[in-house]
């Protein structure tokens, strides 16, 4: 089916015949039922030490070529090898391949000096795909996190709630209006969690542990009790291959407008090919999508020219 197998109505049957070892099967079942799983990503303490030390001077206001302020640095993978190493941890990639049955694509990193204190939300409002649901987040503790230094919170099994976008709350979101009215979405989510009476859990993690969460798990940053402490951590957002990627916050499906995303693979720095229903798109990240013609129908000269352009772009994008 065109959806993650953990969301498929045939998941239970597929699980019986998948041949997973007992521990991996336990993790898959837990993730499917609860929307998250905590793992040891096997990232060395030396890597964590070097990351924390090297990234410290970058928590200052900046807009280009990456965003940062006193609390976070976005996409530090573009210039910091230790951030990139955490984002591409083999143990994480291995488990994501099993959870989603597709190749994971790390495409964004966020490094935090302190807790975000962000209101509860689902990542689906910021990142989604067609087919839906092929996105997840991985949150890695770079120091011990407890209830006093702004832990992550989540609502247990909330990933099973319906997908909600701006249209669902009466906002026509085409263009940039999404952020102007984003507070309405946050108010809606707060009311939704109260109505559903979901179990709010504040997450305590030891340094080096990672939380993998489903795209639609409702989560946020809890208040910081001890303002004298840091909460060093890294979030890596993942898409999965053979999808079309877009931003629901800025999109309005009813008006036929998707704000699509050009996605770069953290591992290679190259643009990720995009697909619609198995057919590759000639213009990934642009709207409207244009299916790529079969190579057999394209003149050889055009094929050679296209390959040369792709290779030149890839060289420019390499770190």
pLDDT tens-digit map of 33-51: 999 999 999 999 999 999 9
Given this model, what pLDDT does residue 175 score? 63
- With cut-offs at 50, 70 and 90, classify the pLDDT of residue 173: confident
Domains, the chain: 5-317 (2.60.120.620)
Given this model, what pLDDT does residue 302 score? 46
What burial class does residue 54 get, using C-beta atoms within 10 Å of its C-beta: 0-12 exposed, 13-18 middle, 19+ buried? middle
pLDDT of residue 317 exceeding 50: no
- Integer angstrom CA distances of residue 227 from 59, 114, 154: 16, 9, 22
Tokens describing residue 212: 């993998």
Degrees, nearest 5: CA angle 133-135-141: 135
Q: What is the mean pLDDT of the chain?
A: 91
- With cut-offs at 50, 70 and 90, classify the pLDDT of residue 5: very high
pLDDT of residue 286 exceeding 50: yes
Which residue spans within the chain are E strands per DSSP?
Answer: 36-39, 72-74, 104-112, 128-130, 135-141, 152-155, 200-202, 210-214, 219-221, 233-240, 244-246, 275-276, 279-280
CA dist., res. 301 & res. 21, Å (int): 50
- Give the mean pLDDT of 273-296: 89
pLDDT of residue 319 exceeding 50: no
Given this model, what pLDDT does residue 184 score? 94
- pTM, two decimals, is 0.90
- With cut-offs at 50, 70 and 90, classify the pLDDT of residue 254: confident
CA dist., res. 243 & res. 263, Å (int): 11
Determine contact, residues 134/100, Cβ cutoff 8 Å: yes
pLDDT of residue 313 exceeding 60: no
- Give the mean pLDDT of 111-126: 97
pLDDT tens-digit map of 257-268: 889 999 999 999
- Give the mean pLDDT of 64-86: 97
pLDDT of residue 176 exceeding 60: yes
Of all residues in the chain, what percent carry a pLDDT higher than 90?
Answer: 84
- Integer angstrom CA distances of residue 151 from 73, 101, 225, 226, 242: 18, 30, 10, 11, 34
pLDDT of residue 297 exceeding 90: no
CA dist., res. 48 & res. 43, Å (int): 7
């Amino acid at each position: 089916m065109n959806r993650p197998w953990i969301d498929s109505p045939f998941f239970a049957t597929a699980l019986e015949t998948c041949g997973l070892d007992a521990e991996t099967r336990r993790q898959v079942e837990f993730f499917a039922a609860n929307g998250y799983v905590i793992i040891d990503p096997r990232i060395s303490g030396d890597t964590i030490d070097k990351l924390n030390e090297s990234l410290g001077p970058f928590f200052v206001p900046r807009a280009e070529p990456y965003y940062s302020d006193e609390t976070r640095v976005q996409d530090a993978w573009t210039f910091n090898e230790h951030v990139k190493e955490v984002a591409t941890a083999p143990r994480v990639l291995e488990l994501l391949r099993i959870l989603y049955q597709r190749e994971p694509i790390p495409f964004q990193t966020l490094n935090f000096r302190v807790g975000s204190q962000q209101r509860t939300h689902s990542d689906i409002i910021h990142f989604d795909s067609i087919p839906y649901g092929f996105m997840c987040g991985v949150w890695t503790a770079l120091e011990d996190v407890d209830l006093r230094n702004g832990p992550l919170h989540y609502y247990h099994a909330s990933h099973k709630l319906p997908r909600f976008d701006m249209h669902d709350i009466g906002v026509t979101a085409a263009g940039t209006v999404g952020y102007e009215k984003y507070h309405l979405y946050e108010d809606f989510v707060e009311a939704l969690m109260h109505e559903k009476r979901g179990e709010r859990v504040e997450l305590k993690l030891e340094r080096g542990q990672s939380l993998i969460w489903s795209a639609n798990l409702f989560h946020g940053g809890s208040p910081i009790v001890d303002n004298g402490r840091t909460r060093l951590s890294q979030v890596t957002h993942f898409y999965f291959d053979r999808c079309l990627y877009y931003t629901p916050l800025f999109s309005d499906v009813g008006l036929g407008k998707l704000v699509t995303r050009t996605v770069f693979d953290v591992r290679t720095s190259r643009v990720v090919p995009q697909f619609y229903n198995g057919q590759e798109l000639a213009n990934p990240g642009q709207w409207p999508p244009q299916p790529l013609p079969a190579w057999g129908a394209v003149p050889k000269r055009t094929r050679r020219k296209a390959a040369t352009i792709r290779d030149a772009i890839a060289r420019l994008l390499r770190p």
